Structure 1
Amino acid sequence: MKKNYLDIVDPIHDFIRVYDHELNIIDTPIFQRLRRIRQLSGAHLTYPAAQHTRFEHSLGVMHIASQAGQALNEKGIIKSDDIEILRLAGLLHDIGHGPFSHLFEEVIQQKKFSHEDFGKEIILKSEIGDSLSKSGYDKKLITKIAFGDSKLQYMNEIISGALSADMMDYLLRDGYFTGAEHAQIDHKRITQSLDVHKKKLALEKSALYSFESMMHSRYQMFKAVYFHKTVRAAEVMLLEALRLSSDEFGFTSFNIHEYVKLTDEYVLSTLISSKSSKLKRAKQFAEDYQNRKLLKCVFERILTSRTNLGKTKTNELRSSISKKSKIDESEIFVDSSVTPSIPLAPSKNESKHIILITNENGKSTAQEMPISQIPVVSAISGFMNILRIYTHQKNRKKVEIAAKSILGGLK
């Protein structure tokens, strides 16, 4: 009998089973382009093995979403058809990512776009949507669940949020490929312990310590990897190159056919081979990035406020440091890296509670527990906010003295 699936070898999950109708989507050029978008944009210049991409992460999210769906199906909460919808939503949750993943997001946000907007457009209006419809799936419903917009909140939360397949896969995968020892997550315990209460995703209380451990792992990964000062140095350069070339590439024109050509190497090689005088500075950043000639961090401060400094304050700071150091503003870079310590819910609001289910004597009770009351988690709850000033090696001393003089008393 002919098999209707393929088993893909994966270092995180051992084997990821992919069915024929999923393979039809994976084999499309639009999905294959995710192989050319690194999961951690510039982190490989600090952690050389961090070459993994959005492609294998998407397969991993599908796999964990499937395990979560299976656990809920065995508890009689969802139907077996819903497992397939979760798998497809997990597979497609990152389909709209642009080059350099979240860095590209920072550029298009200024035009009020997000990778989710591109993702919705791709699923609904490309061959991927056609493939879904042909296989008998509701592409609109899958799009809504993939991007947290469906009325079934617990389905949204399996894809993104504090108990999501997305976070479980990226922490495990990023930890493995960077070699960071922080991301030790018992994802199988968490998925097996999932439940639903009042249409919201819940967790059996006995798995609370696994949730605590995962939140702590995420916090450590931000400190050690995602916000590492050298990782951010590379990303600040990429960001500058992307901003300077935004008009030239038409990054924000929202043309799907042009958009799907944009991958990490395509953007870098286009910039490096450019003869345009308008792109001279962007080209220099791209070349320096490629040759790992990175900016130097001359000032770093962990802030207690939760807000990103914003464009106005960043520009003011840049201007003040420039005047004091007598170094041109274009040579000074202010980086304000902010993230909530607890991941956002699919609604993009901060996750404030976790629903815990206790099963005793055949009776099930639910308790909505504020995350701030979970000991390990409360210690890290709030926002991680790091302000850094970068410049080129030749200006290092002057900018450092000016930054320390201006920012010395900053809280």
Structure 2
Amino acid sequence: MDFAGEITDPIHRYIRFSQAEKDIIDSAAFQRLRRIRQLAGAHLVYPSAQHSRFEHSLGAMHIAGLACESLLGKGYIDNAEVVEELRLAALLHDIGHGPFSHLFEEVLETRCRTSHEEMGRLIITKSEIADALGKNGYSADHISRLSFGQSNVHFLNEIISGGLSADIMDYLPRDSYFTGAEYGKIDYHRLISSYEVASGRLAINRSALNSLESMLISRYEMFKAVYFHKTVRSAEVMLLHSMINADDALALTDTSLENYLSITDEATLERLCALDNGMAARLARDYRDRRLLKCVYEKLLHKRDRHKRMDRKALSALEVEIAQAAGVDRSHVFADASRASSMPLTPSKREMFSVLVTDKKGVREVPVSEIPLVDSIAGFFDMLRIYTTAESRQKVERSVKKVLGDQETMEMGAGRLHGSVR
């Protein structure tokens, strides 16, 4: 592959790019990712977490290239063009994210039943991205299918997303570096060098099982320390409710390309803060000024099997009951249910329950239950939290004990969840 230049990166040192990749990177649709933070409101807890979807996408492209080169050298990929296609797919896998990253996806799901993947397909196939791909001889439809796990070649999908993917191998060390949390350091070079293909699926050599175990534990620890941190989620709850309440006024979930490509973190926050007085404006301004909601209750449920999640209707009823018991306005109480799987999701959005392992004896599908430390965290968990404003804290805390029972109240630590989480 001929490279047109390189970018200095704190995680991967140098990221080289081809002319086709340069044309994508230079497009306005891709440059927009500079203005969408990777971790939404986490910078209000970890001040250096200012990194964006832009650099994560570059990193994912770089690692996808390393993975493909490893498989090309072993004969599992017989065409160098596939390497470039996978790099482009990884580069574009997050192109559909809205403001505040995964947080906006909660708004999309609530308001219009769509996802960032669906928006990504639209951007890749209908915007200037499609023109840039076509100009360089690539099919936008084909790259879109690769980007979102729809290739007929299963192991190619697994390079983009899943437990052995370029996505996880970039976001863990990148998020760890920029938050200052030390949990996300992983040996992805060892994993990539061990890649094999068996039965059309991505596999690893048995000698790399320890590296896989370490990466999955690192992911678990990052969820405890960063992604599900109670104060990080406080900021996200504020933005979530602000955007949902303001959607009718601001048409945030207008999924036309012109509108969607215009909404970024700061642009959206500015529009929210500029609203006339109301719940959406109050929450947005408090978020901007870091006057965050206070967590007065949290309960962790960790189960081996998936179970029904509290829906928005149930959470809303709980908010009403707690507010009435506290004698405060309903708008001062926020019930939040966060769910995650201990294991990464496969390209088909199912939990990773096993990994294909090769050795001199052949190929075996190893359940995660046979990887001791990983088995100890396997399963699903739900975190129920109740947040309130600073002025209502004491009243709501007392009412929560009446409504939910003080035996369930867990000690508020220094931002760490207690028990097993994702």
TM-score class normalised by the smaller sequence: over 0.9
Helix, strand or coil: the match of 2:383? Answer: strand
Distance 1:206 1:36 in 2: 40
Unaligned runs of 5+ in 1: none
- CA offsets 1:66-121 (integer angstroms, 9 cap, x no match): 00000000000012111101100000000000000011000101221000011000
Aligned pairs for 1:283-362 (under 5 A) are 283-305=281-303, 306=306, 307-358=308-359, 360=360
Most deviating of 44-53 and 309-318: 309-318
- CA offsets 1:332-387 (integer angstroms, 9 cap, x no match): 001111110101101011111110011x3xxx610011112211110000013211
Identical residues among aligned pairs (%): 50
Distance 2:90 2:392 in 1: 46
Q: Does residue 138 in structure 1 map to residue 139 in structure 2? A: yes
Please tell me the root mean square deviation across aligned C-alpha atoms, in Å.
1.4
Aligned to 1:400: 397
Helix, strand or coil: the match of 1:62? Answer: helix
Aligned pairs for 1:212-291 (under 5 A) are 212-274=213-275, 276=276, 280-291=278-289
Q: Does residue 87 in structure 1 map to residue 87 in structure 2? A: yes
For 1:107, give the aligned amino acid.
Answer: V
Distance 1:308 1:399 in 2: 24
State TM-score, norm by structure 2.
Answer: 0.93
Aligned pairs for 1:182-193 (under 5 A) are 182-193=183-194
Aligned to 2:412: none
Aligned to 2:414: none
Tell me by how many angstroms 1:405 deviates: 2.4
State TM-score, norm by structure 1.
Answer: 0.95
- CA offsets 1:111-166 (integer angstroms, 9 cap, x no match): 21000011000000111111111111122111111001111111111000011100
Distance 2:401 2:206 in 1: 48
Tell me by how many angstroms 1:4 deviates: 4.5
Tell me by how many angstroms 1:314 deviates: 0.9
Distance 1:351 1:213 in 2: 15
- CA offsets 1:307-348 (integer angstroms, 9 cap, x no match): 432112212211221121112221100111111010110101
Most deviating of 344-353 and 210-219: 344-353
For 2:345, give the aligned amino acid.
Answer: L
Distance 1:113 1:255 in 2: 12
Distance 1:109 1:266 in 2: 21
Distance 1:76 1:366 in 2: 17
Distance 1:92 1:4 in 2: 18
Tell me by how many angstroms 1:225 deviates: 0.2
Aligned pairs for 1:74-223 (under 5 A) are 74-78=73-77, 79-110=79-110, 111-223=112-224
Q: Does residue 391 in structure 1 map to residue 388 in structure 2? A: yes
Distance 1:304 1:73 in 2: 41
Aligned to 1:55: 54
Corresponding residue to 1:373 among 362, 370, 395: 370
Distance 1:393 1:47 in 2: 21
Distance 1:298 1:282 in 2: 22
For 2:146, give the aligned amino acid.
Answer: I
Most deviating of 308-317 and 236-245: 308-317
Tell me by how many angstroms 1:398 deviates: 1.0
Kindly indicate whether the alpha-carbon contact (under 8 Å) linking 2:302 and 2:379 is maintained by their aligned counterparts in 1: no
Tell me by how many angstroms 1:410 deviates: 5.4
Helix, strand or coil: the match of 1:94? Answer: coil
Aligned to 2:67: 68
Distance 2:315 2:228 in 1: 18
Most deviating of 108-117 and 251-260: 251-260
How many residues are treated as equivalent by the alignment? 402
Distance 2:25 2:397 in 1: 49
- CA offsets 1:38-81 (integer angstroms, 9 cap, x no match): 00000000000000000000000000000000000000001211
Aligned to 1:5: 4
For 1:159, give the aligned amino acid.
Answer: I
Tell me by how many angstroms 1:249 deviates: 2.6
Helix, strand or coil: the match of 2:47? Answer: coil
Tell me by how many angstroms 1:221 deviates: 0.4
Tell me by how many angstroms 1:205 deviates: 0.8
